[in-house]
Amino acid sequence: MSVETNKETLGFQTEVQQLLDLMIHSLYSNKEIFLRELISNASDAADKLRFEALTDDSLFEDDPDLKIRVEYNKEQKTITVLDNGIGMSREEIIDNLGTIAKSGTRQFFESLTGDQNKDSQLIGQFGVGFYSSFIVAEKLEVTSRRAGLSREEGVRWISEGKNDYSLETVDRPKRGTKIVLHLRDEAEEFLNGHRLRAIINKYSDHISIPIVMDKEGEDEKGEETVNSATALWKRSKKDIKDEEYDEFYKHVGHDFEAPLAHVHNKVEGKLEYTSLLYIPARAPFDLWDREKRHGIKLYVRRVFVMDDAEQLMPAYLRFVKGIVDSDDLPLNISREILQRNRTIDSIRSGCTRKVLDLLADMALKDAEKYAVFWKEFGRVLKEGVIEVTDKQEDLARLFRFASTYDDKEEQAVSLEDYVARMPEGQKAIYYITADSFSTAKNSPHLEIFRDKGIEVLLLSDPIDEWLTTHLNEFDGKPLSSVNKGELDLDGNEGESEDEDKKKEGEKLEKEYQDIVKRIKEILDEKVKDVRITDRLTTSPACLVADEHDMGRHLEQILAASGQSMPGSKPILEINPKHLILRRLKDEQDEDRFRDWSNIIFDQALLSEGGKLDDPAAFVHRLNDMFVELSTEKQAD
């Protein structure tokens, strides 16, 4: 390491190497986006400088006109992208260009399969950024100086995108970053003014500061601005093409794929602001990360003031990306002030409304697109009914569920569909919760409903337990769990059956009085009560929660997450028409009766996805039964 330049060679973080390989492979047919990514970063750097300069004007030095310059040199086979934005210090270069600091990086690498073709599809989800330059460049040279540092504190970073990069201190009179790409032979097509201008127009027209290039005509001299250089959101909606909206999204959202939908809105009057909000097409890896950054950038009178302004969107809409530009907030607003600012509250509620309307509209007009949205973000949207109380009905209308209507795993049934199909006299919207779709679909609790042709919603997302404790009704109809409380489907059927059923019920009740009592004594530790039921047709028994107890599935979730439970015991309901129960009625052998009771209980627990306290005992009992049965058969 020499003293003057502090030159050193550093290794990339392992993941960087992996990412580079993958990127070069997957973006090979779309090389030109490297320029978009570099310009996007340069524009962010300009935003950051303008923001920091709000409190320290001297950062502008003698160079206040922010812009991005693109050059090319045919002889040297280089393309240069230059900005006079915030720049980077030595530490920042190491952090930003030697490692991947993105949240979700670990999950991303875990999700890679090793098969490059498959993995290529994933790169878009991860976002590409600076490293995409290596698709066209065999060597990159980044020279930067952070605003506010002296000219002797410039840094030069050089890498061939292999295992390492070199770093040295250089004299750098100008603030900002200069990136020189030494092109690979196959990328020489980019050494062409027309081509570069076309790429800038295609992807970066929306960048709000000028992107300049040298004029190229005969005897023309000086620079010209290539893009429109106005903030896209300030332009009139009718003048903005869908592609322009999409490209702007890729810039603000750091995304590779086009968004599903956008809503652009200008509010005038007492409060003035513009919002341009997007629904991404794919959930990011860190959607469930509590530390996750939110996607809204805040501008005040076109000056960028904050990334990830979480106050601008409720948490259940944290996947929304875009910008809000306010005319009313002070430029020096801090995160703390944002938290208790009435203007912000109004903007948030306005933006929330816009997003919910956008989704409702999508659901109505483009079910296919909405299905994509729901698959990616449905579980987040469901948090809404838990988080807020004033939008229950609006949110519930947007929800989609699996249902016994078609028994498909895809969540496509809306509560409106369900209600529209409800036969006259049905009192409630029925649902079942379980830890997987197949447990829900095959639950014994559904037997009677299938028998009677009553639709049941099949809920198996972990959040559904909380959802159903908060969403109690829809369209005036209560939501009712099929595995909780006594089942009363009577009102759902014709009146004439009532009398006969009642009589039959009373008869069975009497007949089974004794055995119910005996089972209850045996299972006393495990159950709160034992009763006969008519909800089962093919299973011998099932477990239900008492009306006011916590749902069985919620208990399992809490127990699994290590939270100690107050231990409300389930109720065992037995099917008096089932052969096992009919036989059990005549069972004289006390030990056998005990074994059967336990097996029935354990089975019921298993069929709802529960965990047995003592699985070995269950297997043991079952084997004993088999042996006995087969010996009996042989004796016959």
Cβ-contact 437, 426 below 8 angstroms: no
Q: Identify the residue whose tokens are 């049941």.
A: 456
Using CB under 6 A as the binding rule, whether residue 154 contacts ligand ADP is answered as: no
In whole angstroms, how close is the CB of 150 to ligand ADP at the nearest point? 18
CB closer to ligand ADP out of 46 and 396: 46
In whole angstroms, how close is the CB of 43 to ligand ADP at the nearest point? 9
User: How far apart, in whole angstroms, are the C-alpha atoms of residue 554 and residue 420?
Assistant: 29
Strands 321-326 and 295-300: parallel
Applying the rule CB under 6 A, the residues between 510 and 539 that interact with ligand ADP are none
Structure tokens at 150: 């002296």
Site map (CB under 6 A) of ligand ADP, residues 76-95, x = contact: -------x-xxxx-------
In whole angstroms, how close is the CB of 293 to ligand ADP at the nearest point? 11
Cβ-contact 535, 443 below 8 angstroms: no
Q: Identify the residue whose tokens are 């779709």.
A: 437
CB closer to ligand ADP out of 42 and 536: 42
Cβ-contact 320, 296 below 8 angstroms: yes
Q: How many residues at the interface with ligand ADP, by CB under 6 A?
A: 16
In whole angstroms, how close is the CB of 623 to ligand ADP at the nearest point? 60
- φ, ψ of residue 617 to 5 degrees: the values are -60, -40
In whole angstroms, how close is the CB of 600 to ligand ADP at the nearest point? 58
Give 34's contacts (C-beta < 8 A, 6+ positions apart).
Answer: 132, 133, 135, 136, 137, 181
Residues facing residue 82 across a β-bridge = 69, 178
Using CB under 6 A as the binding rule, whether residue 42 contacts ligand ADP is answered as: yes
Per-residue DSSP letter, 565: P
**Region binding ligand ADP by CB under 6 A among candidate stretches 39-47, 346-354, 424-432, 617-625:** 39-47
In whole angstroms, how close is the CB of 484 to ligand ADP at the nearest point? 47
Residue nearest to ligand ADP (CB): 129
Residue 607's closest CA among 558, 542, 559?
Answer: 542
Strands 78-83 and 176-183: antiparallel
Using CB under 6 A as the binding rule, whether residue 45 contacts ligand ADP is answered as: yes
CB closer to ligand ADP out of 92 and 327: 92
Applying the rule CB under 6 A, the residues between 176 and 195 that interact with ligand ADP are 177
Cβ-contact 155, 205 below 8 angstroms: no
**Region binding ligand ADP by CB under 6 A among candidate stretches 14-22, 34-42, 350-358, 410-418:** 34-42
In whole angstroms, how close is the CB of 607 to ligand ADP at the nearest point? 48
Using CB under 6 A as the binding rule, whether residue 230 contacts ligand ADP is answered as: no
Q: Identify the residue whose tokens are 């020489």.
A: 188
CB closer to ligand ADP out of 85 and 570: 85
In whole angstroms, how close is the CB of 38 to ligand ADP at the nearest point? 7
Using CB under 6 A as the binding rule, whether residue 127 contacts ligand ADP is answered as: yes
Using CB under 6 A as the binding rule, whether residue 43 contacts ligand ADP is answered as: no
CB closer to ligand ADP out of 88 and 458: 88
**Region binding ligand ADP by CB under 6 A among candidate stretches 6-14, 124-132, 195-203, 336-344:** 124-132
CB closer to ligand ADP out of 72 and 418: 72
CB closer to ligand ADP out of 42 and 554: 42
CB closer to ligand ADP out of 86 and 398: 86
Residue type, 563: Q
CB closer to ligand ADP out of 19 and 226: 19
**Region binding ligand ADP by CB under 6 A among candidate stretches 112-120, 123-131, 527-535, 592-600:** 123-131
CB closer to ligand ADP out of 155 and 459: 155
Among 35, 36, 41, 265, binds ligand ADP (CB under 6 A): 41
What HEC string does 243-309 produce? HHHHHHHHHHCCCCCCCCEEEEEEECCCCCEEEEEEECCCCCCCCCCCCCCCEEEEEECCEEEECCC
**Region binding ligand ADP by CB under 6 A among candidate stretches 26-34, 103-111, 122-130, 488-496:** 122-130
Residue 249's closest CA among 235, 239, 237, 264?
Answer: 264
Applying the rule CB under 6 A, the residues between 338 and 367 that interact with ligand ADP are none
Chain Cα centroid distance, residue 116: 24
Among 90, 156, 254, 441, binds ligand ADP (CB under 6 A): 254
User: How far apart, in whole angstroms, are the C-alpha atoms of residue 20 and residue 132?
Assistant: 8
| DSSP states of 531-562 | EE-SS-SS-SEEEEB-TTSPPHHHHHHHHHTT
Q: Identify the residue whose tokens are 């400088």.
A: 49
Residue 577's closest CA among 451, 390, 429, 430?
Answer: 451
Per-residue DSSP letter, 232: G
Among 13, 18, 96, 537, binds ligand ADP (CB under 6 A): 96
Using CB under 6 A as the binding rule, whether residue 321 contacts ligand ADP is answered as: no
Strand order through the sheet with 303-306: 261-267, 273-279, 321-326, 295-300, 303-306
Residues in contact with ligand ADP by CB under 6 A are 37, 41-42, 45, 83, 85-88, 96, 127, 129-131, 177, 254
